[in-house]
């Protein structure tokens, strides 16, 4: 359960003598992040070097680590050059042999700097450094989809650490441990309950319970937030309505918000899923989504709270016989006319793609539609459609493609990462929300290897310029140690895992092809079509794909800024990996590779499944280099994945063979 915070002894300890021998903690009151930083530094240096730090005094800096805020530092030691460069939550770290300075812009920053320093030590990166690190965006949150009964929607690691039997749990030990993990990757907020929210969270007993959770998280600088159910004033508060423009409803939210802030004065804010998948919302009263969001914004504003309002709004009863119907159009259609109509403390939270966390999607066009509205990106650490932690899928490469994608709004560089930071459209707020869904399982996510995703998520939210492989290797060293073969092998396994999963599930932008009606697990391409969910493939005997062109299809390509729209509008310029997302073509259509669509399906399913077999061999080659418990735990999953990849390969290939009756050139697929 220590995940990447193991502080395991360094193998070759040459630098022990040049380590600091004491620690000077500035402005530290018990329970504050700087106090936590001091404890963490002692714990880490004890673990890594077996060395106990003494209490230093500010008059004797020799051989000391000094940790605190810039303000406190200046009080004791006078002017400090790098302070000017520090932004909110940022820190300055300088380490020269036994002199170490860790100065935060605020307390949280000092804690982040301490974790950074310890991470360097634990990885054996002992050289001198001196730099300022500032966050790319202010909102770096997780979303936990925990239900009040202790179950977790799309959680794969056991029951909730936050709730049981309808109430906030009494024992918050795991909550504090989780907050510690999150602080080490610079996450500063956590929504603790499911977006499909239950209004009983607002009972006096549960509000008090939220206070308990926030108290456990506060020493780590992680602020608590909650998801709200839009109909609460009626279903829970006893009003006759939940109309956002009714003054009684407004007053009810203001009052409940005051009650929560009385117990959690530093609450981060609210998350709201409205008029989506059966959830109540303002449209019931013919009010706009912005009017709905602003109701919460008004209540939260006096307390400095933020409202994350989800853009995941769509009609799940659309009709496939209409060639122009398209779920992917929904977000822009619902939100384009609302741009600029949200209060300043509202952030529209947008899933990275237009549908729903698929193995491959283009960027959501909404990121470039909203120019006068703050936005955040929603990513999924929990592998809902991606094997649910029984398959290894390292997701940082997928997230990087999305974050680095240039939407070219107004023909200017408009990378998604610069939109969500607020920079591109000059918005005051923005950032990332990652759906994590940890559980009581000691591995947190149900699988050791999937923790690289959580690690990378947090640090990419801080700095999206970091490399996927670089993050991965840091995580491997912290998790499994310094054995070169372990580092190389786990790197290789992880870096080929997303392409492999894409290969044996859904290719060419057709979506994941998993069961979309119930489990979201395992192959079931037949569930994609003939229902109102709109995750259609439109596969028939001759052809496949969604025609999202403007000239002949749903018009979705036209929701992107013109340069990008032009690329997706034409088959020739659309990248192969999104071909079937934007175009409806014959199975015999030739890709840029020269292969036909159907042959590409067959080949890549064989390729991906073969890679999954290799993963077992590769992991096996690490026997004896990793403790038995973790070795066996991962081996079990890799074997499962290898078997399941064959099931995927054969189901998908056979399905499209049955439809098209086109033989596999290599003679593997078909009726023998």
Q: Report yes or no: 273 and 197 within 8 Å, Cβ to Cβ.
A: yes
Q: Which is nearer to ligand GCU, 15 or 196 (CB)?
A: 196
Alpha-carbon distance of 292 to 346, in angstroms, equals 11
82 is catalytic: no
Choosing from 85, 96, 277, 337, the catalytic residue is: 277
384 is catalytic: yes
Alpha-carbon distance of 261 to 210, in angstroms, equals 10
215 is catalytic: no
Alpha-carbon distance of 574 to 508, in angstroms, equals 10
DSSP conformational letter for 539: -
DSSP conformational letter for 362: P
Q: Which is nearer to ligand GCU, 119 or 364 (CB)?
A: 364
Alpha-carbon distance of 114 to 36, in angstroms, equals 10
Q: Which two tokens stand for residue 258?
A: 């005051």
Choosing from 116, 146, 243, 356, the catalytic residue is: 356
Q: Report yes or no: 354 and 558 within 8 Å, Cβ to Cβ.
A: no
User: What character string, x for contact with ligand GCU (CB under 6 A) and - otherwise, covers 643-662?
Assistant: --------------------
- Count Cβ atoms within 10 A of the Cβ of residue 17 and give its class: 0-12 exposed, 13-18 middle, 19 or more buried: exposed
Alpha-carbon distance of 235 to 644, in angstroms, equals 44
Alpha-carbon distance of 321 to 670, in angstroms, equals 30
DSSP conformational letter for 415: B
Q: Report yes or no: 544 and 585 within 8 Å, Cβ to Cβ.
A: yes
The residue whose two tokens read 């780590």 is 220
The reply to whether 356 sits near ligand GCU by the rule CB under 6 A is: yes
The reply to whether 144 sits near ligand GCU by the rule CB under 6 A is: no
How many residues sit close enough to ligand GCU to count as binding (CB under 6 A)?
9
Q: Which is nearer to ligand GCU, 106 or 535 (CB)?
A: 535
Which residues, 207 to 266, sit near ligand GCU by CB under 6 A?
A: none
Q: Which is nearer to ligand GCU, 69 or 358 (CB)?
A: 358
Three-state SS across 128-171? CEEEEECCCCCEEEEECCECCCCCECCCCCCCCCCEECCEECCC
Q: How many alpha carbons lie under 13 Å from residue 446 in its C-beta half-sphere?
A: 23
E-strand stretches of 452-549: 543-544
Report the nearest approach of ligand GCU to the CB of residue 672 (Å): 37
39, 196, 208, 618: residue in contact with ligand GCU (rule CB under 6 A):
196
Alpha-carbon distance of 90 to 133, in angstroms, equals 6
Which residues, 152 to 181, sit near ligand GCU by CB under 6 A?
A: 153-154
The reply to whether 580 sits near ligand GCU by the rule CB under 6 A is: no
Q: Report yes or no: 79 and 69 within 8 Å, Cβ to Cβ.
A: no
Report the nearest approach of ligand GCU to the CB of residue 382 (Å): 10
The reply to whether 400 sits near ligand GCU by the rule CB under 6 A is: no
Which residues, 466 to 495, sit near ligand GCU by CB under 6 A?
A: none
Distance of CA 536 to the CA centre of its chain: 25
Report the nearest approach of ligand GCU to the CB of residue 328 (Å): 14
Report the nearest approach of ligand GCU to the CB of residue 200 (Å): 18
DSSP conformational letter for 556: G
Neighbouring CB atoms inside 10 A of 633's CB total 17
The reply to whether 327 sits near ligand GCU by the rule CB under 6 A is: no
Report the nearest approach of ligand GCU to the CB of residue 533 (Å): 9
The reply to whether 195 sits near ligand GCU by the rule CB under 6 A is: yes
Q: Which is nearer to ligand GCU, 222 or 311 (CB)?
A: 311
Report the nearest approach of ligand GCU to the CB of residue 516 (Å): 9
Report the nearest approach of ligand GCU to the CB of residue 201 (Å): 16
Q: Which is nearer to ligand GCU, 243 or 384 (CB)?
A: 384
The reply to whether 312 sits near ligand GCU by the rule CB under 6 A is: yes
Report the nearest approach of ligand GCU to the CB of residue 196 (Å): 5
Q: Which is nearer to ligand GCU, 388 or 641 (CB)?
A: 388
Which residues, 94 to 113, sit near ligand GCU by CB under 6 A?
A: none
Q: Which is nearer to ligand GCU, 105 or 512 (CB)?
A: 512
42, 108, 180, 273: residue in contact with ligand GCU (rule CB under 6 A):
273
Choosing from 40, 177, 384, 547, the catalytic residue is: 384
Collect all residues with Cβ–Cβ distance below 8 Å to 30 and sequence separation of at least 6. Answer: none
Helix (H/G/I), strand (E/B), else coil: 413: coil
**Contact residues for ligand GCU, defined by CB under 6 A:** 153-154, 195-196, 273, 277, 312, 356, 384
Task: Provide the annotated active-site residues.
Answer: 277, 356, 384
């Amino acid at each position: 359960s220590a995940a990447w915070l193991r502080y395991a002894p360094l193998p070759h300890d040459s630098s022990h003598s040049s380590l600091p021998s004491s620690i000077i903690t500035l402005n530290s009151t018990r329970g504050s992040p700087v106090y936590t930083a001091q404890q963490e530094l002692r714990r880490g240096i004890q673990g890594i070097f077996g060395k106990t730090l003494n209490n230093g005094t500010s008059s004797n800096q020799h051989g000391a680590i000094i940790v605190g805020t810039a303000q406190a530092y200046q009080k004791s030691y006078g002017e400090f050059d790098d302070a000017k460069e520090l932004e909110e939550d940022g820190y300055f770290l300088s380490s020269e042999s036994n002199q170490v300075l860790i100065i935060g812009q605020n307390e949280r920053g000092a804690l982040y700097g301490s974790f950074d320093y310890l991470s360097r030590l634990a990885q054996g990166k002992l050289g001198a450094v001196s730099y300022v690190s500032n966050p790319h965006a202010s909102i770096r949150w997780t979303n936990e989809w925990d239900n009040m009964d202790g179950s977790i929607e799309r959680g794969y690691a056991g029951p909730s650490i936050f709730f049981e039997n309808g109430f906030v749990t009494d024992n918050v030990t795991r909550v504090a441990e989780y907050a510690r993990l999150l602080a080490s990757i610079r996450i500063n907020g956590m929504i603790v309950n499911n977006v499909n929210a239950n209004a009983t969270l607002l009972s006096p007993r549960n509000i008090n319970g939220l206070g308990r959770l926030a108290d456990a998280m506060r020493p780590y600088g992680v602020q608590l937030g909650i998801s709200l159910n839009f109909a609460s004033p009626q279903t829970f508060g006893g009003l006759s309505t939940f109309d956002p423009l009714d003054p009684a409803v407004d007053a009810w939210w203001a009052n409940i918000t005051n009650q929560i802030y009385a117990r959690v004065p530093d609450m981060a804010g609210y998350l709201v899923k409205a008029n989506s998948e059966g959830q109540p919302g303002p449209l019931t009263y013919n009010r706009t989504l912005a009017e709905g969001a602003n109701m919460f914004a008004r209540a939260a504003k006096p307390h400095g709270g933020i409202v994350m309002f989800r853009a995941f709004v769509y009609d799940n009863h659309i009709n496939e016989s209409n060639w122009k119907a398209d779920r992917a159009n929904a977000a822009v259609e619902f939100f384009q006319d609302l741009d600029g109509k949200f209060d300043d403390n509202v952030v529209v939270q947008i899933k990275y793609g237009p549908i729903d966390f698929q193995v491959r999607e283009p960027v959501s066009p909404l990121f470039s539609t909203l120019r006068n509205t703050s936005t955040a990106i929603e990513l999924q650490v929990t592998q809902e459609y991606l094997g649910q932690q029984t398959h290894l899928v390292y997701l940082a490469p997928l997230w990087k493609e999305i974050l680095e994608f240039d939407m070219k709004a107004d023909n200017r560089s408009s990378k998604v990462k610069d939109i969500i930071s607020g920079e591109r459209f000059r918005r005051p707020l923005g950032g990332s929300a990652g759906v994590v869904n940890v559980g009581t399982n000691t591995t947190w996510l149900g699988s050791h290897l999937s923790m690289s995703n959580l690690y990378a998520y947090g640090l990419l939210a801080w700095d999206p310029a970091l490399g996927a492989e670089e993050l991965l290797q840091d995580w491997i060293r912290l998790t499994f140690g310094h054995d070169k073969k372990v580092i190389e092998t786990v790197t290789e396994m992880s870096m080929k895992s997303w392409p492999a999963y894409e290969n044996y599930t859904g290719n060419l932008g057709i979506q994941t092809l998993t069961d979309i009606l119930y489990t979201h697990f395992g192959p079931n391409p037949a569930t994609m079509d003939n229902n109102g969910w709109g995750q259609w493939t439109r596969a028939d005997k001759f052809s496949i794909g969604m025609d999202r062109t403007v000239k002949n299809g749903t018009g979705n390509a036209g929701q992107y800024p013109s340069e990008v729209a032009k690329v997706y509008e034409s088959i020739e310029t659309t990248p192969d990996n999104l071909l079937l997302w934007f175009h409806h073509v014959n199975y015999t259509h030739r890709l840029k590779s020269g292969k036909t669509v159907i042959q590409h399906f067959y080949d890549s399913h064989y390729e991906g499944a073969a890679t999954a077999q290799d993963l077992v061999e590769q992991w096996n080659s690490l026997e004896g280099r990793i403790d038995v418990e973790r070795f066996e735990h991962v081996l079990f999953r890799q074997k499962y994945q290898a078997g399941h990849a064959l099931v995927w390969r054969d189901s998908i290939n056979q399905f499209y063979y049955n439809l098209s009756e086109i033989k596999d050139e290599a003679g593997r697929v078909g009726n023998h």
